[in-house]
Chain A
Amino acid sequence: MSYTTLYFFAFILAAVVIYYIFPVKKYQWTVLLAASIFFYCYADFRYAFFIVFTSFTTWIAALQTEKIKAASKAELALKKGEWDREQKKIFKKKTKHRTGMLLFLTLAANFGILIFLKYYNFTAGGLNAILGWSGFSAPMLRLFLPLGISFYTFQSMGYVIDVYRGNAEAEKNFLKFALFISFFPQTIQGPISSFNQLAHQLFEPHRPEYLRFKYGLELMLWGYLKKLVIADRAVTAIHAVTADYKLYNGTTILFTVLLYALQLYADFSGGIDISRGIAQMLGIDMVENFRRPYMSKSINEYWRRWHITLGVWMKNYIFYPLAVSKTFLNASKKMHESRFGKTAVGEHIAKVFPTSVASLIVFLVVGLWHGANSRYVAFGVWNGLIIMISIILQPLYKKWIKALRINAQSHLWHFFQIIRTFILVLVGYMFDIGPNFTGSMDMLRMCFTDQNLQRGMFQMSGLGLYIHDYAVLAVGAIVILIVSLRQEKLSIDSPGVLLARHSAAFQWAMLFIAVVTVVSLGIYGPDYNAASFVYMQF
């Protein structure tokens, strides 16, 4: 069910009304579960098997893990006086092995499904290309990706890891757990929530609150403004260029990647705002997923502001385990003890080795998460390399700042950092929009070697957008910039809270203008196919 149809609004209205009028507050959460099941099956009931499988296996695994741990604890308590230290150590190791094996099987099964559905054809195609000469031919399969599989798989695996680590309690009620996995505002494109943050909110009864409704609706309206007016309008021009970039010159490609930066942010953050707005009306606060990422002063900061929950997931479940793993720590230790490690440079590199390499691996995974294509791998490697290099060169960077007498706290320097980071981000986006790695590199080259403004302007007029569309995009970008600057300055993320600082007349006027703008200028309805949410395919 698309977010941009009236049927969706009718569904939300029904869900919210039924939720609040449900007579038995203790079981109010069942309304959310029913709505989530309906929402999911409405898309395609065939998808339901996979999410049920993931929910069930994860629920069972978490319960079993807790059961094993509890039994182990009880056994240890019982044998406290009997066993010596060595015996206790062996017993604990056995318990850890059992729970570890259970965790491994759960991760393997569920990530296995994700990897198979997402990457089988990519891998088969690659193998056929490499080994085809020998007669090898892996069959290409017609596979479909269940709705939100990346998001709910990551969310459920995060949960089972948290239970394994003892950071979360296993949920005993399968239906409650199913709600945590399938909660409909987050199904399409996240955010990826942690059990501790989200679950209790889902299961607690809620009463309707005026401010929650007000801010929730305003957040939704802001999301629709970004999605329908800006993102879905820009996508026409982007598709025109990415369909065959060789028809265009470097100026047009550069313009397209800038447009893509706007479109991607508006689409993704717009969709998240709509999801969060709905949840807010239901009394549930979902975590933020975007915090003005283009105002970042470094790539590191960018990934703390862009797709925040994916970054947190990667940090908690891949980065930290890698960085503090024995393998990495031993490697760092060995480097320290080597001749190279005795030098100042070597000492620094040995120290930051675990974090920098772990970062590279994390972003390789991030790249693969985006899709089965060499360009996504390149996207991940690009970001990972920048972070890795910036960690390694950190002392040198500080020296340069000092030597050049740069005031690192000045607005000018911050502005430079923001622009520098944005350019690095744009290079990464080139891998997003190129057909493959080679194509992306070619497009990047053309941005430098094939500049012709006049020809570019002429080409831009043929990208499927009219002058008034470009005007809307320009005004839209300015509006987003102004709002973002206000949010950044006042440290207020909610557009509703930001708006509430003004007079009632101003607020009503803004709401009126926003609604009329979305209805009039939005890309929806039979004339256009509203572009699918960019991250829906994940």
Chain B
Amino acid sequence: MIKRIIKITSLVIILTLFLGFLQDYYFSRPASQTLRNDGFYLEDRNSLDVLFMGASEVYSGFSSALAYKQQGFTSYPYAFTGNPDTLWKNELKEALRYQKPKLVVVEVNGALYDPEDLYDDSKLRQFTDSMPLSENKIETVNRFATEDKLSYYLTILKYHSRWNEVFTSLSWMTDRLFMKARGYSLLRGSFTRTGYDSRGKVEDVANIKGVQPLSNDARYYLLDFLQYCKDNKVNVLFVRFPHLISDQRAEMMYRRSKTVKSIVSEYGYSFLDMEPLRKNIGLKKNDYYNNDHLNIKGQRKLTTYLAAYIARHYDVSGDDLTPKQKAEWDKSAEYIDLFYDYFQVQNKMDIKNYKGIEKKQGHRMAVRNKDINETMGLIRKLDQMKRQLQGESRIQNKINSLEETSQSSDK
């Protein structure tokens, strides 16, 4: 009898653990968002000076590792693709469970959406999928879930239909486990692309006059978020990242962002509009991988500008890192340079190829846009590059040493 109970219990436990593993790793969404969410939860508690929130502009346009290298403060892009402002409050609540940032930077794209873009279930899930069970998760699901609520807690109910994507799933599983084994995200949640594809004639924002109201729901949730920040004394900087405005929709979004500016100002918060600052930042058309997102070149430029701005205007100095945390951030700073150097070559190749294709075909084409995720493969390539550089450096040092010896013997 006892033996039987033990056997049954063992089978149940093994099954549960196996299915739990499948749920969390094999059936999870294969997107950079998943890696980015993992990276956030891997950050040591209360180790971030600045928290970035918002949509895809944030993690493609800003590099936390580069910001640390240049200005010394730690940060993380707790941002989600197409992130609507309906979720901002719950996102901030979630972030504040783990971090106590000195500043929260919110890119306002999510407040500019039309109503139909505010309640997309996939946008909700990319936030809730990685959330551990908590009161905040229950509140978020109860507020916004449109499908079977159980599927937001047992995500296998939603994603098991991905069973056939074996290679993709195994590949992502490997990348996530690799990051978890390291214990932190080396590139600090960054995701961008190498090429560029900007369409249409870019409008000078100085020519875009007037404001446009937000949708009722967007306005409601923005006010709700602002009140929450006020009540919890959260220091917030609202920003609008630079875009290539070349159509009516983009113009409307810009006008709406001016409305957001006036609303947040009423609550006493600052708003940094970087749309008119493209020249100051040094951004050109080929710094964007599409009209809304900066590519790897643009990311570098924007990070340099914005990190300096933050350091200048806010006291976010990162003095309170432990030696272990400092070592990890220093490594991220080291790898971000390797990252940029590696993709500079790729980026140049892509632009060269693009120009060749354009000449041949006689019409405009998008440059091949290679996704850059913090995959195991990429990190290994950067490791290799680092070893190569170290090897070259050692050889150079030897050559220098030999030259010195030779010079001194001549004397």
Contacts and interface: CB of A to CB of B under 8 A. Distances in A.
B4 interface: yes
Contacts of B158: 525-527
A320 to B, nearest CB: 47
A7 B150 CA distance: 9
Contact of A525 (B4, B7, B160): B160
A526 B164 contact: no
B148 A512 contact: no
Interface stretch (A22-30, A455-463, A513-521): A513-521
A536 B156 CA distance: 27
Given A508-B11, A511-B11, A512-B15, A521 B151 contact: no
A525 B15 contact: no
A525 B11 contact: no
B116 interface: no
Given A524-B157, A525-B158, A525-B161, A516 B18 contact: yes
Contact of A520 (B7, B15, B160): B160
Contacts of B156: 519
Interface residues on B, range: 20 to 34
A465 to B, nearest CB: 11
A6 B154 CA distance: 10
B164 A525 contact: no
A519 B14 contact: no
Interface in B148-194: 148, 150-151, 154, 156-158, 160-161, 163-164
B147 interface: yes
B154 A527 contact: no
A468 B151 contact: no
B19 interface: yes
A500 to B, nearest CB: 14
Contacts of A522: 160
B164 A468 contact: yes
Interface string B1-36: 000100100010011001100100001000000000
A210 interface: yes
Contacts of B157: 6, 524-526
A93 to B, nearest CB: 62
Nearest to A522: B160
Given A210-B4, A520-B160, A526 B11 contact: no
Nearest to A504: B7
A525 B7 CA distance: 30
Given A6-B154, A512-B15, A520 B22 contact: yes
Interface string A480-519: 0000000000000000000000001000100110011001
A528 interface: yes
Contacts of A520: 22, 27, 160, 163
A511 B15 CA distance: 10
Nearest to A520: B163
Say whether chain B's binding surface is mostly helix, strand, loop, or mixed: helix
A339 to B, nearest CB: 70
B313 to A, nearest CB: 45
B133 to A, nearest CB: 16
A468 B4 CA distance: 38
Contact of A519 (B4, B11, B19, B147): B19
Contacts of B151: 525-526
Contact of B161 (A6, A7, A528): A528
B164 A512 contact: no
Contacts of B14: 512
A445 B236 CA distance: 73
A234 to B, nearest CB: 15
A468 B164 CA distance: 7
Contacts of A6: 150, 154, 157
B17 to A, nearest CB: 12
A507 to B, nearest CB: 10
Contacts of A523: 161
A466 interface: yes
A515 B19 CA distance: 9
Contact of B160 (A7, A508, A511, A519): A519
A508 B160 CA distance: 23
Interface string A409-448: 0000000000000000000000000000000000000000
A72 to B, nearest CB: 56
A455 B164 CA distance: 26
Contacts of A515: 15, 19
Contacts of A7: 150
Nearest to B165: A468
Given A512-B15, A516-B19, A525-B148, A466 B160 contact: no
A504 B3 CA distance: 13
Nearest to A7: B150
Contacts of A468: 164
A6 B150 CA distance: 8
Nearest to B166: A468
B263 to A, nearest CB: 35
B104 to A, nearest CB: 32
A7 B151 CA distance: 12
Interface string A522-538: 11111110000000000
A516 B22 CA distance: 10
Nearest to B149: A526
A225 to B, nearest CB: 14
Contacts of B4: 210
Contacts of B18: 512, 516
B156 to A, nearest CB: 7
A15 B175 CA distance: 44
A1 B410 CA distance: 95
Interface in A225-273: none
Interface in B21-64: 22, 27
Nearest to A210: B4
Nearest to A518: B160
B19 A527 contact: no
Given A519-B19, A520-B22, A526 B147 contact: yes
B96 to A, nearest CB: 30
Interface in A249-301: none
15 contacts: A6-B157, A508-B11, A515-B15, A520-B22, A520-B160, A521-B160, A521-B163, A523-B161, A524-B160, A525-B151, A525-B157, A525-B161, A526-B148, A526-B158, A527-B161
Given A6-B150, A519-B22, A526-B148, 13 more contacts: A5-B148, A508-B7, A511-B11, A512-B14, A512-B15, A512-B18, A515-B19, A516-B15, A519-B160, A523-B161, A524-B157, A524-B160, A526-B158
Interface of A: 5-7, 210, 466, 468, 504, 508, 511-512, 515-516, 519-528
3 closest A-B pairs by beta carbon, nearest first, are A526-B147, A525-B157, A468-B164
